Amino acid sequence: MQRDAATEAVFKPVRPPTTFEETVERLGTAIRLGLLPAGSRLPAERDLAGQLGISRSTLRAALTTLVQSGHLVAQRGRTGGTFVAERPPLAEKNGKPLGADAWAVLDYRVAVETGATILAAERAKPGQLDRLDELVTKMAGATDFEDYRRADIRFHIGIAEAASSPRLVTAMTEVQGQMSDLIALIAHPERVLTHSNAQHRRLVGLLRRANGPRAARLMREHIEGTEHILAGLI
């Protein structure tokens, strides 16, 4: 694979805490920009993991996500490997890039979700936090993405309800609807959902301790993971 400044930027080491999500973003962006051309073969798994400074298990999870989204194709056999799809999806919609609209929604989400989280840490009632814990358990036991996503939406709206702000509930409902349109465009591997729900559980714990600053930071990290996935795939 030919190396230049742009390619070096894509394959420099990935930094935590969103290692998996940022790996998806890096590779997806490289495909979308043509740095990894259609039909080209990715470097060997060991080499690619070393370049990115990540574990092979993290790389495999990212590659699985990109295969599920249609950006990559995995082929078995002596001449097999992981190849960039001939026609990677989601680069555009109706002839127009998705980028600007998607980032506007994500910015709106940051404002609404972090604000609601801070107020929920100050105002949440025990029964409201118990309900959030129930939703976390429901997501953990979901057998398909639709069930998971319904509980996920209720969880985030539940945070706004715990903030005791009818306007925030309205805004949260709106932003979750807009996020659903974006989330529907990407694959949902189990690793992503498990990691996301672990953050949900930690978030409820911080709300119970009324630790608004840490809860808001965790919510921002939670949203950032989604941003990396979407940036790589659309």
- Separation between Cα atoms, residue 98 and residue 91, nearest integer Å: 8
pLDDT value for 91: 47
Number of independent structural domains in the chain: 2
Mean pLDDT for 182-202 is 86
How confident is residue 230, by pLDDT bands cut at 50, 70 and 90?
Answer: confident
Residue 94 lies in a domain: no
Closest CA to 175 of 127, 232, 114: 114
Specify if 147 maps to a domain.
yes
| Position 66 in a domain | yes
> What is the extent of the structural domain holding 181?
99-233
* pLDDT band with cut points at 50, 70 and 90 for residue 19: confident
In a domain, 110, yes or no: yes
Average pLDDT over residues 111-135: 98
Q: Are residues 109 and 67 in the same domain?
A: no
CA distance 204 to 196: 13
Residues 166 and 124 in one domain: yes
Is residue 92 situated within a structural domain? no
Determine the distance from the C-alpha atom of residue 175 to the mean position of all C-alpha atoms in its chain, rounded to a whole number.
Answer: 16
Distance of CA 47 to the CA centre of its chain: 25
User: Does residue 173 sit within a domain?
Assistant: yes
